Amino acid sequence: MYLDSWGPLEGAAAHEADASLHHADQVPSRRQERRSQEVWASNLEDEIDRMRDVAETYQHIAMDTQFPGIVARPCGPFDNYSQYNYQTLKCNVDLTRVIQIGLTFSDAKGNRPKGISTWRFNFTFDANKDLFDQDSIDGLLHNRGLDLARHSSEGIDTLLFGELFMSSGLVLNEEISWISFCGTSGFAERPPEDGGPGRPGEPPWVTFCGMYDFGHLLTLLTSQPLPDEAKAFNESLDLFFPSRCDVALHLHRLPPLNAADPADPRRRPFFRNAHHTLEAFFRLPDSVRRIAFDQDATEDVEESASQGKNLTQ
C-alpha cells in the first residue's frame, strides 16, 4: 500500500547544478563540438540507428532522466533503510511515466563523437491522465522548457522504444560501459528527509539519482514493474548493464566539482546531468578508471565505503 502524497517537493530541474569542471589533461577540451539531438516519435527509428553506429566506437555512456517527481511513499513497517529506500524508488517508478531520457557518449579516453554526442528521448506524457508532482512539473516547465502539449501528441511510445533499445546493442553487452552516480552505500543510506546535523533534506531522486535513472530505463526494457526486492533489482541491472561504474564510490579521488554548492560534500545535484557525470569520471586517476568496471574491485570499494560510514554514524 502506498501513501498517495508527501507534500511539496522542489522542482526536478532546480536541483541540477549549472557548474562547470576544471579540466585535467586527460579530459577533452570544452571547445570540442557537442551537440544534442531531440528525439520524438517521428525520428525515433532513424536516431536509434544513428546512435547504434556511434556506439560501435564510443562505448562509454552516461544517462540522465526527467520524470514527474515523487508521487507516493511506501507504507511500512520496514526492517532497515535499504527496504524503505528501494520501495520508495519502486513505487514511484512503477506509478509514473518517464518524460525524457538523455544519453551522452564518449570513447575510452573521454572524447565525444564529432557532431551529435547526446540523444534526448522524449516520451508520451499526458498531464490529464498521468501522475505527477506539481512542483516537479513546474520546475521542468520553467527550467527545462518542457512542452507538455508536444509530449502528449508527439511523444515516443514506451513499448516501441523498449523494443528498439533492446536490439540496439547498448544493453546485455559487456563492451558498453555505463557511468552513473548511485550513492556510496546503495539503498542502505539514511533517508535524506531525516536530515541530520548540517545536512539539509533532499528528494530521494537526488540522493539515489542513478538508481532512478536505471529504474526507469529498466521498466522500458522489460515492460514490467520493478522487482519486489532490491536484490532482484540489482541482479536485473547486472544482466542488462553488466559493465557499470558508480562515480559516487570514488568521490574522494575527485577534486572539488561544484564550487557553487560547497555545502554538499557529495555534490549530488551536480550528477543529475549526464555531461557532468561523464566528465567527472574522466577526471578520476587512471589507476581508478582502469578498475572502475571490475565487479570484484567495486565490491571492495563499496565495503570500505560502508565501513567508513558506519564509523561516522
Going by pLDDT thresholds of 50, 70 and 90, the confidence category of residue 313 is: very low
Backbone angles phi, psi at 121, to 5 degrees: -90, 120
C-alpha cell at 298: 567495486
Question: Average of pLDDT values for 251-279?
Answer: 67
Domains and CATH numbers, the chain: 2-312 (3.30.420.10)
Check if the beta carbon of residue 132 is closer than 8 Å to that of residue 302: no
What's the one-letter identity of residue 52? R
pLDDT (0 to 100) of residue 134: 78
Q: H-helix or E-strand containing 64?
A: strand 60-66
Task: Please write the tens of the pLDDT for every residue from 6-65.
Answer: 332 233 333 333 323 222 333 444 444 458 999 999 999 999 999 999 999 999 999 988
pLDDT (0 to 100) of residue 252: 82
3-state secondary structure of 245: strand
**How many CA atoms lie within 13 Å of 178's alpha carbon, on the beta-carbon side?**
27
Q: Which residue has the higher pLDDT, 20 or 251?
A: 251
Q: Which residue has the higher pLDDT, 181 or 233?
A: 233
C-alpha cell at 253: 579521488
Q: CB-based contacts of 5: which residues, under 8 Å, 6+ apart?
A: 71, 72
- DSSP character at residue 7: -
Say yes or no to pLDDT of 175 above 70: yes
Q: H-helix or E-strand containing 244?
A: strand 244-246
pLDDT (0 to 100) of residue 269: 53
Say yes or no to pLDDT of 151 above 80: yes
Crossing angle of helices 158-166 and 209-222, rounded to 10°: 90
Dihedral sign (CA 158, 164, 169, 173): positive
Count of CB atoms situated within 10 Å of the CB of 74: 18
Say yes or no to pLDDT of 305 above 60: no
Residue ranges of alpha helices (H) inside the chain are 44-54, 81-95, 134-143, 148-154, 158-166, 204-207, 209-222, 230-240, 274-281, 286-291, 295-312
Task: Please write the tens of the pLDDT for every residue from 51-110.
Answer: 999 999 999 999 988 888 888 888 878 888 889 889 999 999 999 999 999 999 999 999
Task: Please write the tens of the pLDDT for every residue from 201-240.
Answer: 566 655 667 888 999 999 999 999 999 999 999 999 999 9
Distance between CA 287 and CA 269 in Å, rounded? Answer: 26
